[in-house]
Chain A
Amino acid sequence: MSIVGVDVGGTFTDLFFCDEASGAFRIAKVPSNRGDEASGFLDGLRVFGAVSGLDAIVHGTTVGTNALLERGGARVGLITTAGFRDVLEMRRRDRRHTWGLWGDFVPVVDRDMRLEVGERTLADGSIRQAVDLGEVRAAARSLLELGAQAVAVVFINAYANPANERAAVAAVREIWPNSHLACSSQILPEIREFERTSTTVLNAYLQPVVGDYIERLDAALVSDGFAGRFHIVQSNGGVMSTAMARAMPVRTALSGPAAGVIAAAAIAHAAGFADVITGDLGGTSFDVSLVVGGETSRATQAVIDFGLVIRTPMIEIATIGAGGGSIASVDAGALLQVGPESAGSRPGPACYGQGGMRPTLTDANVLLGRINAERPIGGKLSRLDVDASRAAIAAHVAEPLGIDVMAAAEAIIRVANAKMAGAIRLVSIERGHDPQRFAFVPFGGGGALHAGALLREVGLKAALVPRYPGVTSALGCVIADIRHDQVQTVNLALDGLDAEALRVILAGEAQAALAVVQAAGLVVQRIDTEFVFDMHYLGQTHAVSVPVELPADGTGLSEVVVRAAFEMAYQSSFSRLLPGVPARIVTLRTACIGRRPHFDLLAMAPGAGLSVEAAVRPSRRVWFDGAWHEAAIYARLELPAGAVIAGPAILEQPDATTVVDPGLSARVDGLGNLIIERQA
């Protein structure tokens, strides 16, 4: 079975081809076409031969992410319970910043597109007022007249009993002209009306955008004769069918980044590093994620921007505004800043020669000789303009600070490193993890330029640079498991638990999730079901996650088992149990995971007959610690396993550049990864 992972970024589309039978793989990188992603996508696929010969394609996308960040979603209408149309705009009565009262908020659905209907469900699930379907149909027609392209239906307390909401959705479906319809009890049957409304509305907001995108890709693939399976990576790091992605596009919000974390975790695991911090340095941002004991960190909610909340299971990724395109400037207080403003890919850094006049992190790397100006990665540009970098840094940083231009370039790198180090600390030290246990896994085009400095600054054990850092997310698409998460608020007291009734709920949830995984149609080795209860003591409103190991049919579930699991989880989160206070199961989280066949990363290892000598390229001057050093240059992919390179050195490959700082050394492991450590 041949499968291709495709990661479409802002500048490049990266592809990873693998033949599951033979373990053979190939990679490709082609320019992306913003707005016409399908053409770059197809161009990339054709690199591997006829598209019709492929069995499966798995795609990590940022189309949903970008639509959210740029407010480029559809015109959405909302139908909701009488008295509650403003929930979306009222949020949780928060404000933008702790300090400072400026700034307002515009919701993605304007007030005149939020219509109310008479109905009411109570917190215990009883129906106080049945929904009037005539009113619902009238509301739907009004929304269509107002130009709604998608519609969300959210009723108060629908998590406790979805009957009114489902009836309304069925009525809307009869007259709605397309499939862009989001129902809160399907998207997120969980207590908390603002979070559920926001998530449901944002799903509707993305349905036309992501749906059209997938349709365009589908059409292009079909016209190229593709007859295989086409899948999308979700924010939770698992893959789903395109049908599911079209119905629940809100689950693709972190699709691309999640694929990268999955691959980085797998690569690190194969290389013998169970605890790693992944770092994806792109053009505008640095995405950091924590992997402990081989497991990715998970979050239940993300805030895309003030008031834009998405509550779905996802890989926890912290993002800061520092990337290759981050602009360096000197503020009024004579303080050097790097980012968050970015030159992006257009005009891009000054050295791109596309009209960018302001210095970026990439310009600093170019001027210091760390990036080879004659061989830019990705192959889109033929060379980089060092003089433009120098002029930009001189004018905007060196002169205002009254320092030498080389010192200014080095200061830009230092400030950027400090920002990235801060993000790494945030997910590690600040959560009680000892950095000396962790290796840093940089990926994306730029991460390996800074790996050494970050290793020293944060006090990490080592850095592990994957063999092909630039295509890590594409690799992640290929190796990601199939995964489907479900959430259901249950609100059951633990004392006197009716275990059999709960077991039936578990089995039902697992069955539904299993059906989704099986429908994906990819080869799996086995299917695992995981249950997690959100539990608390009666009276608390927050909950702890309580994993309970049970078979998919819930056999063995009992009050005793759940209590033991709860107390263990509670004690590890907070030091004190509260004996005598009754506990409650609030929400059931069910995950069904189809484990994909193991991709042997050994396939990517360096071949035989390589030598360090043959990998040597002409040395060049590189600026480190205030002076030029003559740094050895190597063609990284030509280095044999076991090779050890002492810094200062630069290791070049088509999709990334690795800097080995003075005092560090890099060795090539059996899989072709570079392990950078302090010199003994």
Chain B
Amino acid sequence: MIDPVTLAILKGRLEQIADEMDATLYRSAFNPIIAEARDACHGLYHATTGDTLVQGASGLPIFVGAMAFAVKAVIDKVAREGGLVEADVFLFNDPYEGGTHLNDFRLVRPVFRKGRVFCWIASVGHWLDIGGNVPGGYNPKATESFQEGVRIPPVKLMQAGRMNQDILDILAANSRVATSNWGDLNGQLNALDLGQRRFEALLDEYGNDVVAEAFVAFSDRAEALMRAALRELPDGIYSFDDVLDNDGIVDVMLPIALDLTIEGDGAVLDFSRSAGPAQGPVNISYSTTIAACYVALKHVFTAVPANAGCLRPIRFVVPDGSLLGARAPRPVAGYTETILRLIGVIFGALAKADPSRATAAPFGTINALSLSGARGDGSRWVMFSFFGGGLGGNPDSDGLSHANNPISTATIPPVEILEAAYPVLFTQWALRANSAGMGRHRGGLGAVYEIEALVDTRVSLLGERGKVAPFGVAGGGQAGLNRFSWTQQGETLSPPMVSKITDVSLAAGERLRLETPGGGGWGDPAERSAEAAARDKRLGYVA
């Protein structure tokens, strides 16, 4: 039995290794989605199951759950084909094997000890562009994966430490921004190198057996803590429904519905009442669904550690082939919107079970905005960014204004960095009045971003929450809707699919405007203190 002090030390040391890998990639990555927005993640994964063993504190939350599936895909491939040796590195972006979408490139590398795989080290990062119809990949009109970009199954990027140039050539030929991708790939390799060095030093210091034992203990502890948390909730079935605006192709709302059963120290998350497969790009694979559930639960039960053990007490019901259990080649580029809604319904159902743990709905859309064009010298540029909004009111406080989404810890690139890198001019970057749901604790505010094109610019947006606003809980009100508009030849226009549009052409001097939702409110607005209400008015949060 490993002693508790050693266990505590190993926990800190291992998490630090993952954090350092994150930091290495952030600092050496090329595209701002990784470097500034931290859309990346690193960790250590189980030798035979791929389960998450260790996860950094800084990695993108949604990847935490999804990476286990990605590593498992490599494990399965090796089991089929054999030939694994030290310093092999697998690369892939297949969303049906590892979750999320085509922009997320995974590198997976074995750690050998005594001639056997001891565990896996992996890195995932969001590359700027991997082909497809829309620069940046968020194609709201895609009906098949093939329109979203190039899909790479697990392949050996490095064989025994030797780079396979053929694969680099294929990657380079299939992106609008090959150099950026190459820079990010090198950043991920830097992170893997560092992780391998640090982890092997730790194994040398403590011994393989002690570390292996610690991995088991971490999972068991996570399971025990999750069970303890579930035990505190009253038994029952709690249902909560929400919708997506549409899939970008057919203008019909798509239900995301959860029946949550709490029974003793276990739970069932049943999504059977949710929509069937969508024509447009809001499908998610089963692994993405599980990863999203994990994110929601971690935000509510914050003390439960981030490893696979915490999912053991939970059973998932996700109909195969449905919106939440998509198979290839259903388009998945807009996966973020679906998982945000899915996380929301888990918050909503848990609020019914226990309002004192409740958080009202966060703003619920990433607003993936792609601007692109050609510079004066003919070189292509792609500015891809996503935007903030308000978090939900909660028992502790008002929601945070202009926050990132629960699926990420991404910070937004500064205006000055964007303006230095791309031919755009921001004319407004502000909090959005009246965008928060009212309540005893109101939601946080969303934002207004207004951009003037300095050259002819092609615009695509993939967003949500244009029809049904983020909900309040425990009597709180709903937030504002997402709004997107642009001016063209003096006329103000909005997308027919509300927050999804592709191929808008702006001439130099024309503007686009994005207004994002705040968070839902918590508690009866009549119970809001007079002082807080007066402050909201004075500061123009509520007009």
Residues of A within 8 A of B (CB): 83-87, 89-105, 110-112, 120, 122-123, 128, 156-157, 159, 191-195, 418, 422, 425-426, 429-430, 432, 491, 537, 539-542, 544, 573-576, 578, 581
27 example contacts (A-B, Cβ-Cβ < 8 A) are as follows A85-B430, A86-B429, A87-B415, A87-B429, A91-B402, A93-B402, A93-B404, A94-B409, A97-B302, A98-B61, A99-B306, A100-B299, A101-B362, A101-B400, A102-B395, A104-B400, A111-B431, A111-B539, A111-B540, A123-B419, A128-B425, A159-B416, A191-B414, A418-B8, A432-B198, A575-B193, A578-B182
Tell me the residues in window 403-433 of chain B with beta carbons closer than 8 Å to chain A beta carbons.
Answer: 403-404, 406, 409-417, 419-420, 425-431
Task: Give the nearest-CB partner of A586 in chain B.
Answer: B420
B32, A541: Cβ atoms closer than 8 Å: yes
CA–CA, A157 and B417, complex, Å: 10
Q: A90-B388, A541-B417 are in contact. Are A103 and B400 (CB under 8 A)?
A: yes
- Is B272's CB within 8 Å of the partner chain A? no
Most buried by A among B198, B420, B538: B420
What are the nearest 8 A-B pairs in CB distance? A93-B388, A93-B412, A92-B411, A83-B428, A90-B402, A100-B302, A123-B419, A111-B539
Min Cβ gap A533→B in Å is 16
Task: Give the nearest-CB partner of A158 in chain B.
Answer: B416
Min Cβ gap A201→B in Å is 16
- Is B455's CB within 8 Å of the partner chain A? no
B26, A94: Cβ atoms closer than 8 Å: no
A537, B30: Cβ atoms closer than 8 Å: yes
Task: Give the nearest-CB partner of B403 in chain A.
Answer: A95
CA–CA, A123 and B424, complex, Å: 10
- Is B476's CB within 8 Å of the partner chain A? no
B430, A83: Cβ atoms closer than 8 Å: yes
What 10 new A-B contacts, CB under 8 Å, besides A86-B430, A93-B388? A90-B388, A99-B299, A101-B400, A104-B401, A123-B416, A191-B420, A539-B179, A573-B27, A574-B28, A578-B186
- Is B450's CB within 8 Å of the partner chain A? yes
Give the number of chain B interface residues (Cβ < 8 Å). 77
Residues of B within 8 A of A128 (CB): 425
Min Cβ gap A157→B in Å is 6
A104, B397: Cβ atoms closer than 8 Å: yes
CA–CA, A94 and B362, complex, Å: 14
Mark B1-38 against chain A: 1 for CB-CB distance below 8 A, else 0.
Answer: 00001001000110010001000101111111001100
Min Cβ gap B429→A in Å is 6
CA–CA, A157 and B416, complex, Å: 6
CA–CA, A93 and B390, complex, Å: 10
Task: Give the nearest-CB partner of B406 in chain A.
Answer: A101
Q: A418-B5, A576-B190 are in contact. Are A101 and B359 (CB under 8 A)?
A: yes
Min Cβ gap B336→A in Å is 15
Mark B162-205 against chain A: 1 for CB-CB distance below 8 A, else 0.
Answer: 00000000000000000110110011011001100010000000
- Is B365's CB within 8 Å of the partner chain A? no
Task: Give the nearest-CB partner of B300 in chain A.
Answer: A100
CA–CA, A352 and B59, complex, Å: 45
Q: A112-B540, A418-B5, A539-B179 are in contact. Are A122 and B425 (CB under 8 A)?
A: yes
Min Cβ gap A122→B in Å is 7
- Is B398's CB within 8 Å of the partner chain A? yes
Task: Give the nearest-CB partner of A577 in chain B.
Answer: B186
CA–CA, A89 and B57, complex, Å: 24
Task: Give the nearest-CB partner of B61 in chain A.
Answer: A98
Among the listed A93, A96, A105, A429, which residue makes an inter-chain contact with B13, where contact means beta carbons less than 8 Å apart? Answer: A429
Min Cβ gap A539→B in Å is 4
- Is B74's CB within 8 Å of the partner chain A? no
Min Cβ gap A421→B in Å is 8
Task: Give the nearest-CB partner of A111 in chain B.
Answer: B539
A90, B394: Cβ atoms closer than 8 Å: no
Min Cβ gap B153→A in Å is 25
A422, B397: Cβ atoms closer than 8 Å: no
CA–CA, A429 and B14, complex, Å: 12
Task: Give the nearest-CB partner of A544 in chain B.
Answer: B27
CA–CA, A359 and B322, complex, Å: 58
Q: A83-B426, A85-B430, A537-B183 are in contact. Are A574 and B190 (CB under 8 A)?
A: yes
Most buried by A among B61, B401, B410, B414: B414
Residues of B within 8 A of A110 (CB): 539
Q: A156-B415, A192-B416 are in contact. Are A84 and B429 (CB under 8 A)?
A: yes
A112, B538: Cβ atoms closer than 8 Å: yes
B396, A191: Cβ atoms closer than 8 Å: no
Residues of A within 8 A of B426 (CB): 83, 156
Most buried by B among A100, A110, A128, A578: A100
A194, B189: Cβ atoms closer than 8 Å: no
Task: Give the nearest-CB partner of A307 in chain B.
Answer: B400
CA–CA, A297 and B494, complex, Å: 52
CA–CA, A91 and B299, complex, Å: 21
Min Cβ gap B543→A in Å is 12
Min Cβ gap A241→B in Å is 31
Among the listed A89, A191, A578, which residue makes an inter-chain contact with B402, where contact means beta carbons less than 8 Å apart? Answer: A89
CA–CA, A98 and B391, complex, Å: 13
Residues of A within 8 A of B427 (CB): 83
B419, A422: Cβ atoms closer than 8 Å: no
CA–CA, A564 and B290, complex, Å: 48
Among the listed B16, B193, B359, B417, which residue makes an inter-chain contact with A430, where contact means beta carbons less than 8 Å apart? Answer: B16
Min Cβ gap A420→B in Å is 13
Residues of A within 8 A of B431 (CB): 86, 89-90, 111
Q: A123-B419, A574-B190 are in contact. Are A94 and B403 (CB under 8 A)?
A: yes
- Is B298's CB within 8 Å of the partner chain A? yes
Residues of A within 8 A of B406 (CB): 101
B416, A156: Cβ atoms closer than 8 Å: yes
- Is B281's CB within 8 Å of the partner chain A? no
A95, B414: Cβ atoms closer than 8 Å: no
Task: Give the nearest-CB partner of A95 in chain B.
Answer: B403
A430, B392: Cβ atoms closer than 8 Å: no
CA–CA, A96 and B414, complex, Å: 19
B16, A426: Cβ atoms closer than 8 Å: yes
A539, B430: Cβ atoms closer than 8 Å: no
Task: Give the nearest-CB partner of A541 in chain B.
Answer: B35
- Is B58's CB within 8 Å of the partner chain A? yes
Residues of B within 8 A of A429 (CB): 13
CA–CA, A488 and B412, complex, Å: 23
Residues of A within 8 A of B413 (CB): 541
Min Cβ gap B396→A in Å is 4
- Is B444's CB within 8 Å of the partner chain A? yes
Min Cβ gap A280→B in Å is 22
Min Cβ gap B96→A in Å is 27
Residues of A within 8 A of B298 (CB): 99
Residues of B within 8 A of A123 (CB): 416, 419-420
CA–CA, A343 and B326, complex, Å: 56
Residues of A within 8 A of B392 (CB): 101
CA–CA, A491 and B425, complex, Å: 18
Min Cβ gap A3→B in Å is 41
- Is B373's CB within 8 Å of the partner chain A? no
Task: Give the nearest-CB partner of B5 in chain A.
Answer: A418
Min Cβ gap A346→B in Å is 28
Q: A86-B431, A537-B30, A540-B35 are in contact. Are A102 and B396 (CB under 8 A)?
A: yes
Q: A157-B416, A191-B416, A541-B417 are in contact. Are A102 and B28 (CB under 8 A)?
A: no
A103, B416: Cβ atoms closer than 8 Å: no
Residues of B within 8 A of A105 (CB): 400-401
- Is B399's CB within 8 Å of the partner chain A? yes
Among the listed A92, A103, A122, A581, which residue makes an inter-chain contact with B414, where contact means beta carbons less than 8 Å apart? Answer: A92
Min Cβ gap B502→A in Å is 25
Task: Give the nearest-CB partner of B26 in chain A.
Answer: A542
Q: A156-B415, A491-B420 are in contact. Are A540 and B402 (CB under 8 A)?
A: no
CA–CA, A193 and B417, complex, Å: 9
Min Cβ gap A300→B in Å is 13
Most buried by B among A85, A112, A429: A429
Min Cβ gap A526→B in Å is 35
Residues of B within 8 A of A192 (CB): 414, 416-417
Q: A101-B391, A112-B539, A540-B28 are in contact. Are A95 and B397 (CB under 8 A)?
A: no
